[in-house]
Structures are given as structure tokens and as C-alpha cells.
Amino acid sequence: MTIEVKFFASLREQLGRGETRLTAAGPMSVAEVWSQATDNAEMPANVLMALNMEYVTADTTVNDGDEVAFFPPVTGG
């Protein structure tokens, strides 16, 4: 199973990469995708997550071919 993972804004800068591709044996949660993609870095408490361009929670199941994106909250003014 292959999953596309993307990091945006300050997360991209902190992790030193904007995207990666994971290979997994079976379905996993968004939180597990974060752990595997970041070498077990702690997920920021306020990080936003999207699965195939729809907001999700950390316990959402990810399947083969899905795209998972992580980004910091957007602020405006």
C-alpha cells in the first residue's frame, strides 16, 4: 500500500521536506502516518490534517493510494 504525505508551511520547514511517500502493509491511522513519515516526531497539538483534501482527525483510517496532508492552523488578519 502506498500513501502520499505532504507537509505545508512551517511544518515543511521544521521537517526539511514538503512531501514523502510511505509504503505500509495495510490500513493505518493518520496519526500513524505522521509517526512513520516523521521518524516518530511528536505531532503538534494544533496541526491540521486532511485526507484526500478533506479535513479529518488523527484516528481516521488511511488506505492505499490516499493523500494525507499536514499543515499548521491558518491565521488571518
pLDDT of residue 74: 74
What predicted TM-score, i.e. pTM, was given to this entire model?
Answer: 0.91
Encode pLDDT of 20-77 as tens digits.
Answer: 999 999 889 999 999 999 999 999 889 999 999 999 999 999 999 999 999 998 766 5
CB 58 within 8 A of CB 31: yes
CB 77 within 8 A of CB 13: no
All cell numbers assigned to 43: 505531532
Domain count, the chain: 1
Full residue range of the structural domain in which residue 38 is found: 2-71
Question: Does some domain include residue 63?
Answer: yes
Question: Does some domain include residue 76?
Answer: no
| CATH code: domain of residue 62 | 3.10.20.30
Encode pLDDT of 1-19 as tens digits.
Answer: 999 999 999 999 999 999 9
| Of residues 18, 8, 23, the one with CA closest to residue 66 | 23
Dist CA 29 CA 13 (whole Å): 24
pLDDT of residue 45: 86
CB 39 within 8 A of CB 21: no
Question: Does some domain include residue 77?
Answer: no
Question: Does some domain include residue 52?
Answer: yes
